[in-house]
Amino acid sequence: MLRVFIDSSVMFSAAYSNRGHARDLIMMAARDEIRLVISALVMDETRRNLADFAPEVIPALERIFDSIDFEIINPTKEDVIEAAKIIALKDAPILAAVKVAQVDLFVTLDKKHLLDRPELETYVSSPILRPVDAYQRIMRSGINQ
């Protein structure tokens, strides 16, 4: 089964709106078409960001967490230090988690720090895509293969 790491920007989007490709990825996981991978940091950061910007959406996020069998990856301190050699320290825990997870795709909405950075794709050995691009790639590849 295709394993897809999603960061807090994607989780936020999926909880905030019941439409869009971030939500499509959640629905694919709910149907056991893909396996979603996150870290404890993704969970905490998403809860914190929703509490600050849209507290009324927290119940929707908790329903997602309760209904999806996420694979949770937590990198070691050493993994984070290694990742910090190629990315800002604040983003290193996520990049380290993606590398440790050895996923097929890493999905993010972070244009400033993560997208369009081939050296990061090389580091994690995975394409780094926006939700729309990940969704299209998954559909093209045939999720039931």
Domain boundaries, given as residue ranges, for the chain: 3-141
Do 46 and 11 form a contact (C-beta atoms < 8 A)?
yes
SS3 call for 143: coil
| Helix intervals (H) in the chain | 8-16, 21-30, 40-53, 58-67, 77-83, 92-101, 118-124, 131-141
Q: What is the rounded distance in angstroms from the CA atom of residue 124 to the CA atom of residue 19?
A: 29
Residue with tokens 């949770």: 72
pTM of the model: 0.95
Query: What count of other Cβ atoms lies within 10 Å of the Cβ of residue 44?
Result: 11
Tokens representing 112 are 């400033």
Fold annotation for 3-141: Rossmann fold (3.40.50)
Say what the pLDDT of residue 145 is. Answer: 46
List per-block mean pLDDT (blocks of 10 residues) for the chain, which spans 145 residues: 97 96 97 97 97 97 97 98 97 98 98 96 98 96 65
What pLDDT sits at residue 143?
64
Q: How far apart are alpha carbons 19 and 69 in whole angstroms?
A: 21
User: Residue 122 CB: number of other CB atoms within 10 A?
Assistant: 10
